[in-house]
Structure 1
Amino acid sequence: MNAKQRLIRLNRRSLFSQSAAGLGAAALASLDTRAEAAPRVSDYRSETAKGGLPELPHHEPKAKRAIYLFMSGAPSQMDLWDHKPTMADWFDKDLPDSIRQGQRLTTMTSGQARFPIAPSIYNFSPHGENGTMVSELLPHTAKHVDEIALIKSMHTEAINHDPAITYICTGDQLPGKASLGSWLSYGLGTENENLPDFLVMTASWTGRKEAQALYNRLWGSGFLPSKYQGVALRSAGDPVLYLSNPKGVDSKLRREMLDSLARLNRVTAESIGDPETDARIAQYEMAFRMQTSVPDLANISDEPKYILDMYGDDVTTPGTFANCCLMARRMAERGVRFTQIFHRGWDQHGNLPKDLPNQCKDIDRPCSALLKDLRQRGMIDDTLVVWGGEFGRTIYCQGSLTKTNYGRDHHPKCFSVWLAGAGIQGGVVHGATDEFSYNVTENPVHIRDLNATILHLMGIDSDRFTYAFKGLDQRLTGVEGGDVVRQVLA
């Protein structure tokens, strides 16, 4: 390849990175030769970890891995976790202006003449040593309140689904940023060689038929190299697209093809220096190893009957939330760093009394089983489990209201999430809201704070965990940063 061809093929990213490397080398050469330029490998790095940044973890991690149970569509906090018994006396009365305080509304309710209060029709009862109030819709999860930390004071600025879910998953309402799982994969490397660091599943649901779309940017790598993006597992056909060999291509031939392709890619990498070329080589190799590891992962026939019974009847049906939770445990056993399960259908703008119980039936028993399964295998102490959605729902009704039927609009000013497992203080209820479950009254927790807490439990200081892009040191917690919620830590 002549100089002109190389110049044409040299992209801007590699041009700037190579130029910066040259300038950096010149600058280092001018420094005192006694200075140690090479970073020291972290004292807290796992002996089995490969890749990642040499300075990470910043401190001793509590969690080796995390499982994020994401309820896409926004669960109704006052029907599940945020008990508001006084609202029974407010049925069909208008939400006071002093409570709303001019809050921005969605177009779905901003034109309503009234904002009638719709009290929850579900019974709550105390559970655990601290008497945490939990809805009758979550009887199995309620048994674990002494293991979980419930945060009632979550809040966000986003009021519509797509920017809100993009915000909590990537740290920004606008697309293009790296997701939480990608950050963890980039920073901490992998604990296994045969599966990706970051796996994603989208579970089936039985509530509202219509559901918000989920875009792969929610588990994308954004500005990070593409090898750190999440890999989505499917419930039908190949668990991962194109996992099987094409017709007429056996494993030996595919190995020869990959070897030839790798040689060509290495020539390109040496000529251009684009890190994406190295990422492609690594991804092809991972795909080859996944031909064996992924089918083994997805085959649950080796699970004892008592384990399957614990997760419920749906566990043997691929794509159900129960099956996904069991798969998440199997991934954790195999060293997958971050697993995220998206369960859609929580967007109850109407017919909540019919749809919400179905949603809870999908997830309640499997959530309980996952926590129990991790505990009895001795994995709960180094596995973090997170449950929550992108925002909450309004105490007032959207549309018409009866005592047996109502719906709720989006509500970003307060909602509930819970955490369990590694580094979490069980039995804690953190934060509080007013009697309308509308405004946070104690210990507000922004979604940036939640992400900072997750990173902290994985051994990462969110303020120091950056990636240079577009002239800015990018962070998962944005330029504002996030505060670790230390009150929920053990």
Structure 2
Amino acid sequence: MEKEQLEHSLGHNRRKFLSKVSLGIGSLALGSLLIPDLFRKGVAEDDIMDALPHFAPKAKRVIYLFQNGAPSQLESFDYKPLLNKQAGMELPDSIRMGQRLTGMTSGQSSFPLVGSYYGFQQYGEARAWISDLFPYTAKVVDDICIVKSMYTEAINHDPALTFFQTGAQVGNRPSMGSWLSYGLGNENNNLPAFCVLLSKGKGNGQGVYSKLWTNGFLDSVHQGVQFSASEDPVLYLNDPKGMRREDRRRMLDKIAQLNQINYQAFGDPEITAKIQQYEMAFRMQTAVPEVTDISKEPDSIIKMYGPDCLVPGTYAANCLLARKLSESGVRFVQLYHQGWDQHDNLPSEMAKQAKDVDQASAALIQDLKQRGLLDETLVIWGGEFGRTNYCQGEIQLDNYGRDHHPKAFSIWMAGGGVKPGIVYGETDEFGYNITENPVHVHDFHATILHLMGVDHERLTYKHLGRRYRLTDVHGHVVKDLLV
């Protein structure tokens, strides 16, 4: 009791003491919020931040077209005619080699092989095999790099999806977009560094959730900002009716003053993050309506992306919006398209899904290229794992399904320093195991960071006594993919 009275009379206790000694640092932090570039070269965590980018970047921005639910590589980019020839025959034990199966097919007594219902043709200088489901992608094959040797450890959607987005199968880790926002900051101070777009296809969908674009243990200013298909693209951004812009400005100034007092008292960095978020929202009130307005896009662009680009919330509309956001300086645009989980009825469902995405994905490549933006914009297309070469359940050659397959699957990348017109990696004749140039998820992340001018081993953040990074303690840059 006497100790508490003494602390009260002196106006000091441990919390106040620590907060007072941090005032100088706090003032610097607040100054960097009010004038973002003021201390850009001098504020760093062990000289990490002031060294960024670590080397000359090939890409300035990323557009990630995530195909949520895992599209089958065997009906897209990994042509395996042997599966058609041996349809109905058992998967050889020498190929499976005792590898674990997912819960969907672990109880099956047999594993009958099933080939693609759709044909494949060769395209481009690399003579890449592409399914007939993707005729528009086939037209831009010389602009993309197809990676057929991706693999992961995750066998179910939630951990696999989380792994690709955050570098870990568990939650509460910063997403890739958040890491790039933290490391490289904004290009356009009127828009977030990290934006998220959602669309739903016609197939069996897997859910997406905010933990996929979370800031994790990074400051909340690095969380992805979700755009919606509603009249208000960013919810709660507009002022209430009757409020003038100058009134909003005065209100924000007063709130900032109060938050500054709280920060000086408690030293909580989330208070400064809140100030920064208020300011960003104020600037976005002008920038967002402009960047989401497609009324000025010429008819040739609408025709290129297809009529669905006029319907807000569709994949095509989001691809066009992704281009506009990237063109406006958004560092990382994450697009999720749901509906790729074809455990049955794959020939019918995958055809609808491919039709949803094929034209707009290829249009995005063409659009960026004709604007001179493809060389500095990395575009990625792919899901969280692949699909089995055997049928899930009873085999029907015209109506089959495929289970999850993490051991080998395909993605493609374009622009931003990636070699165009190549096919990288290979799988065995059954499409089950990788035989050349495996690329792990951590390698994938390390390569993306490298293209953005970031050494994945040096972009770290200390949390709970440990330094974390997107690639954890793994990953290497796949230099064969780089220009």
Q: Please show how residues 295-306 of structure 1 align to structure 2 within 5 Å.
A: 295-306=289-300
Which residue does 1:167 correspond to in 2?
Answer: 163
Q: Is the contact between residue 392 and residue 415 of structure 1 (CA under 8 Å) also seen in structure 2?
A: yes
| Residue 338 of structure 2 is aligned to residue 347 of structure 1 | no
How far residue 384 of structure 1 moved from its aligned partner, in angstroms, is 0.7
Q: Is the contact between residue 203 and residue 341 of structure 2 (CA under 8 Å) also seen in structure 1?
A: no
Q: Please show how residues 363-382 of structure 1 align to structure 2 within 5 Å.
A: 363-382=357-376
| Residue 482 of structure 2 is aligned to residue 489 of structure 1 | yes
Which residue does 2:383 correspond to in 1?
Answer: 389
1:249-269, Cα deviation, whole Å (9 max, x unpaired) = 332322222111111001111
- Partner AA of 1:419 in structure 2: M
Which residue does 2:450 correspond to in 1?
Answer: 456
Q: Is the contact between residue 171 and residue 211 of structure 2 (CA under 8 Å) also seen in structure 1?
A: yes
How far residue 9 of structure 1 moved from its aligned partner, in angstroms, is 7.0
Closer, same or farther: CA 39–261 of 1 in aligned 2, 3 Å: closer
Stretch of structure 1 that moved more, 245-254 or 328-337: 245-254
| CA distance in 2 between partners of 1:307 and 1:282 (Å) | 36
How far residue 10 of structure 1 moved from its aligned partner, in angstroms, is 7.5
1:409-428, Cα deviation, whole Å (9 max, x unpaired) = 00100111111101111111
Which residue does 1:104 correspond to in 2?
Answer: 100
Which residue does 2:305 correspond to in 1?
Answer: 311
Which residue does 2:81 correspond to in 1?
Answer: 85
Which residue does 2:111 correspond to in 1?
Answer: 115
| Residue 112 of structure 2 is aligned to residue 124 of structure 1 | no
| Residue 236 of structure 2 is aligned to residue 215 of structure 1 | no
How far residue 7 of structure 1 moved from its aligned partner, in angstroms, is 5.8
Which residue does 1:32 correspond to in 2?
Answer: none
Q: Is the contact between residue 63 and residue 377 of structure 2 (CA under 8 Å) also seen in structure 1?
A: yes
Alignment equivalent of 1:155, drawn from 136, 151, 171? 151
- Partner AA of 1:286 in structure 2: M
Which residue does 1:94 correspond to in 2?
Answer: 90
Q: Is the contact between residue 181 and residue 198 of structure 1 (CA under 8 Å) also seen in structure 2?
A: yes
Q: Please show how residues 37-436 of structure 1 align to structure 2 within 5 Å.
A: 53-208=49-204, 211-436=205-430
Give the superposed CA RMSD.
2.2
| CA distance in 2 between partners of 1:189 and 1:172 (Å) | 23
| CA distance in 1 between partners of 2:296 and 2:201 (Å) | 26
Q: Is the contact between residue 87 and residue 114 of structure 2 (CA under 8 Å) also seen in structure 1?
A: yes
TM-score (norm 1): 0.90
| CA distance in 1 between partners of 2:157 and 2:402 (Å) | 14
1:149-178, Cα deviation, whole Å (9 max, x unpaired) = 111110000000000010110000010100
Which residue does 1:46 correspond to in 2?
Answer: none
| CA distance in 1 between partners of 2:110 and 2:244 (Å) | 66
Closer, same or farther: CA 267–443 of 1 in aligned 2, 3 Å: same
| CA distance in 1 between partners of 2:427 and 2:275 (Å) | 51
How far residue 39 of structure 1 moved from its aligned partner, in angstroms, is 9.8
Q: Is the contact between residue 41 and residue 55 of structure 1 (CA under 8 Å) also seen in structure 2?
A: no
| CA distance in 1 between partners of 2:365 and 2:416 (Å) | 11
| CA distance in 1 between partners of 2:179 and 2:115 (Å) | 40
Closer, same or farther: CA 9–41 of 1 in aligned 2, 3 Å: closer
Q: In structure 2, list runs of 5 or more residues that go unmatched.
A: 27-38
Which residue does 2:34 correspond to in 1?
Answer: none
> SS where residue 151 of structure 1 aligns?
strand
- Partner AA of 2:283 in structure 1: R
> SS where residue 66 of structure 1 aligns?
strand
Closer, same or farther: CA 119–271 of 1 in aligned 2, 3 Å: same
Q: Is the contact between residue 61 and residue 457 of structure 1 (CA under 8 Å) also seen in structure 2?
A: yes
| CA distance in 2 between partners of 1:483 and 1:69 (Å) | 23
TM-score (norm 2): 0.91
Q: In structure 1, list runs of 5 or more residues that go unmatched.
A: 23-37, 43-51
| CA distance in 2 between partners of 1:248 and 1:39 (Å) | 38
> SS where residue 264 of structure 1 aligns?
helix
| Residue 438 of structure 2 is aligned to residue 444 of structure 1 | yes
Q: Is the contact between residue 161 and residue 390 of structure 1 (CA under 8 Å) also seen in structure 2?
A: yes
**Alignment length (residue pairs):** 458
Stretch of structure 1 that moved more, 425-434 or 152-161: 425-434
Stretch of structure 1 that moved more, 396-405 or 363-372: 396-405
How far residue 41 of structure 1 moved from its aligned partner, in angstroms, is 7.0
- Partner AA of 1:134 in structure 2: I
1:91-136, Cα deviation, whole Å (9 max, x unpaired) = 1111112111222212211111111111111111110012111000
How far residue 237 of structure 1 moved from its aligned partner, in angstroms, is 3.2
How far residue 6 of structure 1 moved from its aligned partner, in angstroms, is 8.1
| CA distance in 2 between partners of 1:41 and 1:378 (Å) | 33
- How many percent of aligned residue pairs carry the same amino acid? 53
| CA distance in 1 between partners of 2:333 and 2:350 (Å) | 25
| CA distance in 2 between partners of 1:69 and 1:191 (Å) | 21
